[in-house]
Amino acid sequence: MRSLTVTTLALACSWSCQAADLGTRVPLAQREIAAHRTAKEAAACVAAQPFYWEIGNAERSLANGQSGEQAPGAQTKLALASASKWLYGAYVAEERQGKLSNEDVQFLSFQSGYTRFRVCLPNQTVGECQASLLNGRGRIDTQTIGLFDYNGGHMQKHATLMGLGMLNKDELAVAIKRGLHLGPDWALSYSQAQLAGGGVSTAADYARFLRATLKGDLQMGALLGTHPVCTNPLTCPKDAVKTPIPQSETWHYSVGHWVEDDPKVGDGAFSSPGAFGFYPWIDASKTFYGIVAREDRSGLRSDDPDQKPAVQSVDCGRLIRAAWLTGQVQP
C-alpha cells in the first residue's frame, strides 16, 4: 500500500492552512451570501438543481437553502447510495475504538479483492447477499488483491466478518445506528442490506453525523484521510483498477471516504458522493461540513461524466464550498 507523496502531503497542508485562515477572516454574513448566490446561479449548480444544501461546523448548521423548483428539504428522505460508505467506515471505527487492523484498512480502502459484487435483493440478509450467485458467490478475485477497485463487495464481505451477516436490512439499520450512537431519533434505514450503497436518510440526519465527526464524538474524526491509496488507473496503474471519479482527476481513497486532493483542481476535502447525487463533505481544515442533497437517477449510465448525478453534485458542491471559504461568489 502506497502513502501520499510528499507533494500531495504539502498540498494537503496548504489546503488545510488556507481553509482555516479563511475561516477566521471572512465574515459569516459574507460567506452565507456567497454560498446562496453560488448555489442558485453558478453554471455547475444550475445543472445539479433541484437540491438542498447546507454548511455548518461542529456545533450547528450555519447556512442552508433550496435551489431549483421542487427541491428537497432538510428532512426529505433520500437514497444515499455511496454516501453510505462513510457511515459504515465510521461504524467500524467505533467498533474498533479507533484502532483499525491492517485487514480493516484493506477492506475499507477497497483493496481486499472482493470485487465480484453487484447488488443485494431487498429481502436478503447481509450474508445471503454477499454469498449470492448474482455476486459471484462472494468469491475473492485474486487479480485485484492489493489494488484499489471501487466495488461494494469489500464492505459486504467485511460486514460478515464483523458479525453482521445474519441481519436483514431493518436489523442492519438498528445495528449501525446503535454503533454510531448519534441518538435514538437519528434516522437511518436501508433499502437493501448493502453496507456500501443501501442507506436511506435525510440531509439533516447526515449533517448530525458530520458534526459528530468534526467534534470528535466519533472516531472517524481522527481517521479522516488516513491510509490513503491512489485510485486512478491512468495515473497509478500499479495501484488501481477501477474508479467512479472521472479519470481527468486523481483522488485518493481513505477508510470509507474520498480525499479530493487532485493536484490541479482538488482542495483536499473529505467526501463520499453517492451515485444519485447525495454529496456530503468536510473541508480540508476539518472546520466545516457541507451537503448537496438530491436524488436523481437520470444519467447514471451516460458515458459523459458531466451527466452523472454524482459528478454534477461534486462540481456544484466544490463551488459552494469555495464560495463559503472565500466569501466570493463562484461562477
For the stretch 223-274, pLDDT in tens is: 999 999 999 999 999 999 999 999 999 999 999 999 999 999 999 999 999 9
CB atoms within 10 A of CB 198: 26
Q: Look over the chain and give the mean of its residue pLDDT values, rounded to a whole number.
A: 93
b/e per residue, 318-330, with b = 16+ CB within 10 A? bbbbbbbbbbebb
How does DSSP classify residue 287? Answer: S
For the stretch 171-190, pLDDT in tens is: 999 999 999 999 999 999 99
Location of C-alpha cell 441518538: 183
Please determine, for residue 20, whether its predicted confidence score (pLDDT) is greater than 80.
no
Beta partners for residue 200, in sequence order: 79, 189
Residues 82-110 have a mean pLDDT of 98
Helix (H) or strand (E) holding 91: helix 84-95
Cis (ω within 30 of 0) for the bond into 50? Answer: yes
Does residue 283 contact residue 322 with C-beta atoms inside 8 Å?
A: no
For the stretch 273-293, pLDDT in tens is: 999 999 999 999 999 999 999
Residues 321-330 have a mean pLDDT of 98
What is the spatial distance between Cα 206 and Cα 214, in angstroms, rounded to a whole number?
A: 13
User: How confident is residue 36, by pLDDT bands cut at 50, 70 and 90?
Assistant: very high
Structural domains in the chain plus CATH codes? 6-326 (3.40.710.10)
pLDDT of residue 25: 87
At 23, which amino acid appears? G
